[in-house]
Chains A and B, each alone.
Chain A
Amino acid sequence: MLQTSNYSLVLSLQFLLLSYDLFVNSFSELLRMAPVIQLVLFIIQDIAILFNIIIIFLMFFNTFVFQAGLVNLLFHKFKGTIILTAVYLGLSISFHVWVMNLRWKNSNSFVWTDGLQTLFVFQRLAAVLYCYFYKRTAVRLGDPRFYQDSLWLRKEFMQVRR
């Protein structure tokens, strides 16, 4: 059974990483006095996303549903989050690599092309969706029903099998 204190700790860590992500997405363009600052911000952001993926998977492993072997049910329920987080990580890394590559020599130069602008829009949109889905999943995993056998679980299992 999930302890309330543990869950609070994990949830606050997840929200900390999410808010860092949101902060960098919002204000990284302003903090480009030196290219190194952006580089460090981007690296920490990507690591934060990776950490969030690890944490959410650890939470999955901790559920009764997973331990009972119903991995498929968990995947079915949270596939949106898993796929979106992976896509967002990919988009983020590629955008960061591209921007840093262009700005490394002169951080205050105008580097935008149509391709970069498109990637930027998709990355920022994915960030919002990722934030929403991830937050929802983290909050949902606090439901005690995931940590014990119940009628609800059996019903869900039957629905997935159909």
Chain B
Amino acid sequence: MRADSGPRLEEGPSRPPRTLPPVPSQDDIPLNRPKKKKPRTKNTLASASLEGLAQTAVHRPSEGSEPPTEELEEHLEAPVQKRQKKTRLPLELETSFTQKKTSSPSLLRNENGIDVEPAEEAVIQKPRRKTKKTKPAELQYANELGIEDEDIITDEQTTPEQQSIFTAPTGISHPVGKVFVEKSRRFQAADRSELIKTTENIDVSMDMKPSWTTRDVALSVHRAFRMIGLFSHGFLAGCALWNIVVIYVLAGDQLSDLSNLLQQYKTLAYPFQSLLYLLLALSTISAFDRIDFAKTSVAIRNFFALDPTALASFLYFTALILSLSQQMTSDRIHLYTPSSVNGSLWAAGIEEQILPPWIVVNLVVALLVGLSWLFLSYRPGMDLSEELMFSSDVEEYPDKDKAIKASS
């Protein structure tokens, strides 16, 4: 729009007054308006033709109040306007200084007759923009919702001369308490002070967030699991000890009363097998966590160095395999019926074949579990996972700090 309007404007002075552009029709109005914002043309444009053109464009909305004949007169009396402009110039400078922040488009439209004005305004605005840029961005953001004093026009400084020509009045403006915020595709009125408060709160929460990062969540979960593991180590050792004591007590002296053991223990066998698996699984995972089993080289080195924690995890894993291998026997004990009953799994004499190895395995499991617990309690605070998984951050942070210091 500006590209093709520019040449037309500059052509203006060279043309004789006879070749005035025709009085613009309604369609031309929007095209002409932006032209006026160009400060460069305003100073050079002394020709009455263009002034008239612009003025008609501006006055169009208020045509009803002014007789159309006046327009025609203005076109014809171009030299007269020139003189008028000269006289008005200082006055306009005054107004532009006093009304620093009056809305410039409306002013331009109103005071179209005086072309010098926008240029002056541009000169005045420049230093103000500069000062704004130098402000820190945060301050600008914080003040965004506030009211600038410059925005409020309290006094109407319109000269009688202006009033006669410029019909659009600049009313007195007030600071409004409401701000219109777009929520779900609708603008809703919100209280300015509350909005400022909420934005401040958001700032505060943004500041709070870095204190609880995902790594902290991971670390707390890891530590919580270590606590569960610590509990299960002790509980497992106690359970295994209790189990083996119960078995030996029920079996009697020299394992002489095996049928009594089967009858008494059959309700207990399967639940205990399940509980043993659960606790062994938890303990093994916890022990693996402590030696950071996933880093195999470190784990194997620790094992050969007879590190108590590495030994403990190995013993737990062995106990787990042994315990699992007794699943079939446990189920057989669980389904025990005396050999006299039809379809019994326990034929006469089979008890002596099956039970002694099962008791020995249980004893070994109890010993392994007890030993692991002792080994672990030798160094209860050891946790290679935590050290290795989150250690490289410690290495990284000094670098970051250095970088920050260097930049500052």
Binding site for B on A (CB under 8 A): 2-4, 7-8, 11, 15, 22-23, 25-27, 29-30, 80, 108, 110, 112, 117, 120-121, 124-125, 127-128, 131-133, 135-136, 139-145, 150-152
Contact B327 A139 (CB under 8 A): no
Q: Is B362 on the interface with A (CB-CB < 8 A)?
A: no
Q: Which residues of A contact B278 (CB under 8 A)?
A: 22-23, 26-27
Give bound CA distance, A144 to B218, whole Å.
10
Which of B237-245, B370-378, B391-399 forms contacts with chain A? B391-399
Q: Is B158 an interface residue (CB 8 A)?
A: no
Query: Residue B60 at the A interface, CB < 8 A?
Result: no
Known contacts A110-B345, A132-B285, A136-B385, A29 near B331 by CB under 8 Å: yes
Q: Is B284 an interface residue (CB 8 A)?
A: yes
A-B pairs, 6 with minimum CB distance? A142-B218, A26-B278, A142-B214, A112-B328, A7-B214, A139-B218
Main secondary structure of the interface of B (DSSP, over half): helix
Whether A11 pairs with B217 at a CB distance below 8 angstroms is yes
Contacts of A3 in B (CB 8 A): 214
Does B321 touch A at the CB level, under 8 Å? Answer: yes
- On whether the beta carbons of A124 and B324 are closer than 8 Å, the reply is yes
- B325 and A121 contacting across the interface, CB-CB below 8 Å: yes
Is the pair B215, A143 in contact by a Cβ cutoff of 8 Å? yes
Evaluate contact between A144 and B324: CB separation under 8 angstroms. no
| A25-B281, A133-B294, A136-B385 known; A112 vs B217 contact (CB < 8 Å) | no
- Would you call B321 and A125 a contact (CB within 8 A)? yes
Chain A residues touching B, majority SS: helix
Does chain A have a CB within 8 A of B275?
Answer: yes
Question: A2-B214, A4-B209, A144-B215 given as contacts; is B324 within 8 A of A15 (CB)?
Answer: no
Q: A155: shortest Cβ distance to chain B, in Å?
A: 9
- CB contacts (< 8 Å) of B281 on chain A: these are 22, 25-26, 127-128, 131
Interface size class of B (residues with CB under 8 A): 35 or more
Q: Are A8 and B217 in contact (CB under 8 A)?
A: yes
Which residue of the partner chain B has the closest CB to A143? Answer: B215
CA distance A110 to B278 in the complex (A): 23
Q: Is the CB of A140 within 8 A of B332?
A: no
Given contacts A117-B328, A128-B285, A131-B285, contact A139 B277 (CB under 8 A): no
Min CB gap B146→A, angstroms: 31
- Is there contact, CB below 8 Å, between B331 and A128? no
Q: How far is the CA of A4 from the CA of B393 in the complex (A)?
A: 18
Q: Which of B214, B284, B325, B332 contacts A143 (CB 8 A)?
A: B214
Select one of B274, B328, B392 contacting A27, CB under 8 A.
B274
Residue of B nearest to A109 (CB): B335
B315 interfacial by beta-carbon distance below 8 Å: no
Residues of B within 8 A of A135 (CB): 225, 285
Give the Cβ gap from B91 to chain A, nearest Cβ, in Å: 59
CB-CB under 8 A for A29 and B284, given A112-B328, A133-B294, A144-B214: no
Minimal Cβ-Cβ distance residue in B for A155? B392
What chain A residues lie within 8 Å of B392 (beta carbons)? 145, 152
Residue of A nearest to B389 (CB): A140
Q: Which residue from A4, A30, A80, A110 sits with its C-beta under 8 Å from B271?
A: A30
Tell me, in angstroms, the Cα distance from A23 to B278 when the chains sit together.
8
How far is it, in angstroms, between the C-alpha of A18 and the C-alpha of B324 when the chains are bound? Answer: 20
Q: Cβ of A11: which chain B residues have Cβ within 8 Å of it?
A: 217-218, 221
**Which chain A positions have C-beta within 8 A of B320?**
124-125, 128
